[in-house]
A and B are shown apart, each in its own frame.
Chain A
Amino acid sequence: MSSQGNIQPAKLVLLGDMGAGKSSLVLRFVKGQFTDYQESTIGAAFLTKTVPEFKVKFEIWDTAGQERYHSLAPMYYRGAAAAIIVYDITSTESFNRAKNWVRELQRQGNPDLIVALAGNKADLAGQRAVEPSEAQGYADENGLYFIETSAKTSVNVGDLFNEIAKRLPKPKQVAKAPGSGNVVLTRDAPAKKKQQCC
């Protein structure tokens, strides 16, 4: 335990249109796997991955992205240290949805939240619908970190997560949880009771 004593947990949430490749990015990062037959996420999936170089343990919420779960999204991004908003470079629609997510996070007004914009499926450049310059421009305007990735070929996937790890606030000595050598899990703030769709 003591060797990990200074590993900081960091809650990270992935948002974006269904089918953009959120789960694929997470599974590539956490397990080094990719499948062409990735089934849609239900609700939200939780995975963790420690990045020793940066002394960070990512606690990742991979959300479903379907419209019906939208009202539940706050449950997952509340209290997050970082968010990755994913779109599919072959779909303008998914880019527009990504912008909506950016706006939603901005409305939440957490100035410390690190937000990355990932243009995924970069391997499908032939079907590209969103130019990197456009996305970069949008990212600059909104203070996001932008990168194009491919969960399939794994291009830039490590960089995406590493960049977030780098940007996380440095662990302060005082921030350590009192009296524990254990890793402390971040807890979601209590959410509204009995949420319903629509």
Chain B
Amino acid sequence: MTVSEAEGEGAVGEEQKREPEELAARVAEEEEEDADVREAEMADTGTPRLTREEVEQGIARMDQHVDRESRDQSAGTDASSSSGGSYQKQFVNKAPNEDSTMPSWRRRKKHMFVFSNAGKPVFSRYGDEQMMSTFFAAAQAIISFVGDKWGDGLLSMEGGLRGPGGGSPWKRKANRDSRAQGPPGKLKALFLEKGPLTFVCVSRTDEPASVLRHQLDLLHSQFISILTLGIERAFARSASFDMRKLLNGTGPLLRSVIHSGTWDLPVVLGGVAPLPLEIGLRKQIAQSLQGCFVPDVMCSLLFTADRVICISKRKRFKLNHKDLFLFTNFVRLNDSFKQSESFTPFCFPSFNPSAFLYVYVSYVTEDVCLAFVSGRADSFHELAEAKVFVESFLRQPTVRTGLEQALREDTLKVRELPMSAGGGFVGETPLWHYVYYHKGLQQLLSPRMGAPPLATRECQKRVLRGYQEMSTASYDGMTVRWRRSGSFTIIACISLDFDLYATFDSIVDAGSAVRICNQLAQYIHSKERDLLMPVFQLKSNTRTTAAARRATL
């Protein structure tokens, strides 16, 4: 079966490669004496072009991968994730009263739950986890029966889907191959043992096991971000320890992470979405984030619900895209941060899973949030003072208008591109959507998906899955990957420094699609300076007194 072949070895290898390398990989590491703000060197390695043969090879191979789900263009209209109302409300338990014996519960497409080694319920995406003790006990029995033969804590199973109430899905043969991919609708189960906790995913979506695993990992990381690894010590003291007490109120946060694993492009592809901003202005903002230097601040961040405006950090504070997502997601999920300044412990799991750092959080405008990550629990008042400084800087008329302008704009919309790069209105151009992924910075540029022709959720999901598959699948080192489905065509151009994923209409011919991709990559490359976000360094020896700060204002 070609689909599982395409999922082959590369899926795992690629995923590992994407794992936590530092976001600031490209930051010039050597110390510079005078510059307060140093910007990352953007890769300047010319845009590789794709040859005709490469394309044809790619097409020949990939044309076999006809997307089956292409017919059901149904589904409701899109509700963009950042649209009005509380973001949190979307993630309350949709079925708080269901339990594992109910058909409605069994019909849900993707379950995730967590239980302790003692079989104690900890979390369930749907239903009331407390009512599922017997289910968890059964799941646990299976795990211990099959055993962790492979030692990596991951066990995955597949089987045909039984009807509701049709007996245990667990009886199907267990198999090690996390890469195998059943046809859509087949049930997959993954178990991931992490210390005293077992994370389980039971899914009927067509996401491959590697992707589901990634989502379980993310869920685990968000657990750690709230509780640190200290949770393991609590279990060591008492195996019957009830963790739900500690998780009180975090259900929506955990559910939102599961959602993001499917729907948030940066999470799906493993990167950060920067706000395009004129480099001069971004530097000034970085300067203001440094001008208020407070000892023990590891990182200052300015961001919105879905894009990062500026990061200024100490060199030793490693901040990868995953930790950054966990943090910004944590902030955007809680509207309570909008009501006042806050100070909260937060653990950045890739940086240090055993300790909390202290984060000062305050919105400086309705949508723009400022955060200072500090190693000191008593730094609040200094950080609050620093915020006043940043806030007054951002209020300066030129800065404010520049930033507001940038915030209003979407990232390089298709219709704003040059015609040769696929620019044009819907219907005028075969190009529907694209993602430019800069590997060194682990940042991605992509217009929002809400507008036609990608207006429906179903359509967006299929495009996202397409990108995801292309990013993880091995195509024997192919630099061009191609996939036609009923209503659109996805093409991926993989190069050393960047990946370009693009969605075209279904009738585009390969030649023009590739021509457009080439032009698009070149165009974006020529604008990288303003589109991508260098990571600025916070210098540890900069001490600005309050007086000096006032003078600079």
Contact = CB atoms under 8 A, between A and B. Distances in A.
The reply to whether chain A is a binding partner of chain B is: yes
Interface of A: 18, 23, 27, 37-47, 62, 64, 66-69, 72, 75, 185, 187-198
A195 B355 CA distance: 7
Contact of A198 (B234, B336, B376): B234
Contact of B248 (A18, A72, A193): A18
A41 B361 CA distance: 12
Nearest to A66: B248
Given A37-B86, A45-B340, 18 more contacts: A18-B249, A38-B336, A39-B334, A40-B334, A42-B334, A42-B336, A42-B337, A42-B342, A43-B342, A43-B344, A43-B359, A66-B248, A67-B248, A192-B377, A196-B354, A197-B230, A197-B231, A198-B234
A27 to B, nearest CB: 7
B340 A68 contact: no
A194 B355 contact: yes
Contacts of A40: 249, 334, 336
B340 A39 contact: no
A194 B298 CA distance: 14
Given A67-B245, A67-B246, A197-B231, A189 B378 contact: yes
B345 A39 contact: no
Interface of B: 86, 88-89, 226-228, 230-231, 233-234, 245-249, 330, 334-337, 339-346, 354-356, 359, 375-378, 380-381, 384
Contact of B377 (A38, A46, A75): A75
Contacts of A44: 342-344
Given A39-B335, A67-B248, A190 B344 contact: no
A58 B380 CA distance: 16
Contacts of A191: 377-378
A181 to B, nearest CB: 15
Contacts of B248: 18, 66-68
A62 B344 CA distance: 12
A37 B252 CA distance: 14
B377 A68 contact: no
Nearest to A190: B378
B380 A46 contact: yes
A37 B247 CA distance: 20
Contact of A195 (B245, B334, B337, B377): B377
Nearest to B385: A185
Contacts of A196: 228, 230, 354-356
A27 B334 CA distance: 16
A38 B355 CA distance: 29
Contact of B356 (A18, A66, A197): A197
Contacts of B334: 39-40, 42
B339 A45 contact: yes
A15 to B, nearest CB: 16
Contacts of A187: 378, 381
A46 B356 contact: no
Contacts of A64: 344
A39 B376 CA distance: 26
Q: From DSSP, what is the main secondary structure of chain A's interface residues? A: loop
Nearest to B346: A43
Contacts of B337: 42
Given A39-B335, A197-B356, A46 B228 contact: no
B227 A68 contact: yes
Contacts of A192: 377
A197 B226 CA distance: 9
B234 A46 contact: no
Interface centre among A39, A44, A62, by most chain B C-beta atoms within 10 angstroms, is A39
A27 B336 CA distance: 11
A104 to B, nearest CB: 17
B61 to A, nearest CB: 49
A146 B345 CA distance: 31
B366 to A, nearest CB: 15
Contacts of A195: 345, 356, 377
Contacts of B230: 196-198
Nearest to B244: A67
Contacts of B377: 72, 75, 191-193, 195
10 contacts: A27-B339, A44-B344, A46-B342, A68-B226, A68-B245, A193-B376, A197-B227, A197-B345, A197-B356, A198-B233
B336 A46 contact: no
B229 to A, nearest CB: 9
A154 B250 CA distance: 29
A196 B231 CA distance: 9
Contacts of B335: 39
Contacts of B247: 68
Identify the 6 closest CB pairs spanning chains A and B, nearest first: A43-B344, A191-B377, A198-B234, A196-B230, A68-B246, A45-B340
B378 A188 contact: yes
Contacts of A37: 86, 89
Contacts of B89: 37
A97 B203 CA distance: 40
A62 B336 CA distance: 11
Contacts of A43: 342-346, 359
A196 to B, nearest CB: 4
Contacts of B376: 193
A37 to B, nearest CB: 7
A132 B339 CA distance: 31
Contacts of A72: 345, 377
B356 A198 contact: no
A69 B249 contact: no
